[in-house]
Structure 1
Amino acid sequence: MNNEFIMPAPPLPRTPAEEEKLRGRLTGFKIGYDEGYLRGRLAILDGRPEEPIPVRNLHVMYVASGKGYPYSPLDEAVLYALQKLTTQVTITDVRQNLVGLADAQRPDLVLVLDGLELPLDQVAELRGRGIKTAIWLTDDPYYTDFTINIVAHYDYVFTLERNCVEIYRGLGCTEVHYLPFAAHREHYRPTTGRSPVQRDVSFIGSAYWNRINFFRDIMPELMSYNTVINGIWWDRLPEAPLYGERIEIGKWMTPQETAVTYSGSKIVINLHRAHVDELDNNNKLYIPAASPNPRTFEIAASGTLQLSDARDDMGTFYKVGEEIDTFSSPQEMMDKIRYYLTHEEQRRDMALRAFERTLKDHTYTKRLNQLLTIIYG
């Protein structure tokens, strides 16, 4: 028997089509691995219970905005947190007789959300009965023409805009505090299984004119990716018909729909509205906006990468460049979109860090505990 070793024949070279197929398969494996790793890590973090906060022996009367959607999800978030933090909560809204209800219920604190439609004589009567009153303003600085007329009627004023604090103090309010909104985990959380939404880039928001002007010149490049825009007034954009259903006009998305869309997008753009807008604002003092909007926290709570326009106070809440990233021009935004769509590991790690930061510091339970601590110590 001949035991001579016989070299195997070398494999036949692959054809260009076979090479392309192999590259596609390897790319698919890599994408699947990256997506599975991200969803798995998000599931682990999302499963951690929130740090417990002691319950206060307080009775809070919560006065909802009474404006319906999109304010009602804010009402749900605040009410949920109050019910976890206090022994008793009475829920009402600005259309009810608060004085009669307070006489019957005797709350320790009346907390009003928005309050633009609440008769101020009711607030005066509540204070006259020795009941503490507080208002949490929802739209600073965009409606300060109205809010400057009501803030002095409350014992405590909470604003989500840092630049409004001194304005209100100048009106004689002694207790004015900066308290931005947050993420409600019952509404905003990541999709930890396979997402029904698959997008490269998403933007959800109303088409204020600063947003129209920002997007117009870069629309061809932005929409060359799998990009979808949702929100009202996008028929203001002349080029909107060119993109068909990828610009969804006139739909208010629920928080749950929004969270699924955020979580299924590789990048979510957060472009704040402008503080100067003669058509849509009521801000004759032109108070500039420095603070992050509620969407900042909601995007981060959905487990995706956020690109936001730069705001002066953003770094107070997230580490810019580590937890979220920012841009100062349309071209810088496009440069960063290109970068993060081709650097999966950086995109994934930043999304995870922002998600973890949000769970730790930026939930409504944490915010309402801050509010109660300011009032009661």
Structure 2
Amino acid sequence: MRILLVAKPWKGGLAQYLFDALQDLFPGQAQWMTTYPDSLADYLAYRIDKRKWQRDRVARINASDYDCALFINHIPAFRDLHTDRKHILWLTDAPRLSVGDCTPFKRIYLSDAGYAEDLFKVINPAHYRGELAFACHPKVHRPAPAARNPTGCCFIGNKDNQRDLWLNGLIASGMRPVVYGNYFLRTRLFWQHPQLFRPALANAKMGEVYARHRISLNIHAQVVRHGTNMRSFECAAYGIPQVLDYRDGLAQYFEPDTQMLISHTPGQMADQVKYLLAHPDAAAGIAQRARTRALAEHTYYHRLLSILADWLSPAANTASRQLVTSLIAHQETPA
């Protein structure tokens, strides 16, 4: 099956994880067309005339031959796409759309179902297929060798007003989380507590950070209304115990108190972190159960097979799921 991925090459890694998973599932049949320049020549053309660059991209898509195309998020030029049942649109975070933007797409997913009512105002509701959550990619998100003396708790994330409230509350409760991200040098919180902040780091380095700490905090950005963010699935696969702030719908992906701890206030989060630090066996059990769940249900292999099910025969679907089991088992085998 020939599959076209149309996506921006985010720093967060989503498009790369999807493309890598597609290549594993459908060797030699996946192509990735970016919606943002990924070469110097493209970048110069984009800077000279962004709209023309995007129109040219859409013209290439319209001229391409594929069985299915997965589009990650929307750009205005997509209005010129041919309308086709082969087009799948996955909208992440907080989509801002107008009536007519999604006409070329007959299958539309949201990473956050909290935006469904907004979406229904601009699309045919019959084209909405539900919430398609983020996931983990086992090739990348796997435990790194533990540091000799891992300490305390960490948080990897960028600045956000909601996170400011929680970080301030945690610090006031006596917590000293080490925070990696663009808070460094750029926020009042940094200048108030500079010893707690570190620069942003590459995705490939996250496993090393988690290996140096005993607990991961996951404080959702204000934009998240329902479900959870990428970090929940990634941390689960990395094998570090997590404490998260509550979001409606999170429990459909991980079982509270068994696979991760859920907080309703910064003070409660501080108490939960202290509990896990004082009870390492309980923390290890939570981490292992979350990791088992993530690898069994929440990889990008699983997400892709879910949205591509209509293109696969029952036999091909079964074979693909067996392949996923084999791929994950192979990736778990030490080199």
Task: Give the Cα–Cα distance (whole angstroms) in 1 for the partners of residues 125 and 311 of structure 2.
Answer: 14
Q: Given the alignment of the two structures, is residue 274 of structure 1 paired with residue 222 of structure 2, yes or no?
A: yes
Residue 356 of structure 1, aligned match among 268, 277, 292: 292
Task: Give the Cα–Cα distance (whole angstroms) in 1 for the partners of residues 116 and 191 of structure 2.
Answer: 43
For 1:322, the equivalent position in structure 2 comes to 258
Aligned length: 291
One-letter amino acid matched to 2:32: I
Task: Mark the runs of 5 or more structure 1 residues left unpaired by the alignment.
Answer: 1-57, 276-287
Q: Given the alignment of the two structures, is residue 200 of structure 1 paired with residue 141 of structure 2, yes or no?
A: no
Residue 23 of structure 2, aligned match among 52, 66, 83: 83
Q: What is the Cα deviation at residue 147 of structure 1?
A: 6.9
RMSD: 2.5
After superposition, where does 1:146-165 map in structure 2 within 5 Å?
146=97, 150-165=101-116
Q: Given the alignment of the two structures, is residue 100 of structure 1 paired with residue 60 of structure 2, yes or no?
A: yes
One-letter amino acid matched to 1:212: D
Deviation readout 1:200-222 (Å, 9 max, x if unpaired): 10011112111112222431544
Q: What is the Cα deviation at residue 322 of structure 1?
A: 0.5
After superposition, where does 1:58-73 map in structure 2 within 5 Å?
58-66=1-9, 68-70=10-12, 73=13
If the length of structure 2 is used for normalisation, what is the TM-score? 0.79
Q: What is the Cα deviation at residue 234 of structure 1?
A: 4.9
If the length of structure 1 is used for normalisation, what is the TM-score? 0.70
Deviation readout 1:274-327 (Å, 9 max, x if unpaired): 14xxxxxxxxxxxx7121111110111110110001111111111111011100
For 2:51, the equivalent position in structure 1 comes to none
Q: Given the alignment of the two structures, is residue 302 of structure 1 paired with residue 238 of structure 2, yes or no?
A: yes
Task: Mark the runs of 5 or more structure 2 residues left unpaired by the alignment.
Answer: 36-53, 314-335
Q: Could you tell me the percent identity over the aligned residues? A: 21
How has the CA–CA distance of structure 1 residues 60 and 341 changed in structure 2, closer, same or farther, with 3 Å as cutoff? same
After superposition, where does 1:1-377 map in structure 2 within 5 Å?
58-66=1-9, 68-70=10-12, 73-86=13-26, 88-94=29-35, 95=54, 96-100=56-60, 102-103=62-63, 105-116=64-75, 119-123=77-81, 125=82, 127=83, 130=84, 132-139=86-93, 142=94, 144-146=95-97, 150-170=101-121, 171-177=123-129, 178-191=131-144, 193-195=145-147, 198-223=150-175, 225=176, 227-235=177-185, 237-248=187-198, 251-275=199-223, 289-374=225-310
1:188–1:298 Cα contact (<8 Å) kept: yes
One-letter amino acid matched to 1:211: R
- Radius of gyration: which is bigger? 1
One-letter amino acid matched to 1:134: I
Task: Give the Cα–Cα distance (whole angstroms) in 2 for the partners of residues 370 and 269 of structure 1.
Answer: 29
Greater shift in the superposed pair: 166-175 or 333-342: 166-175
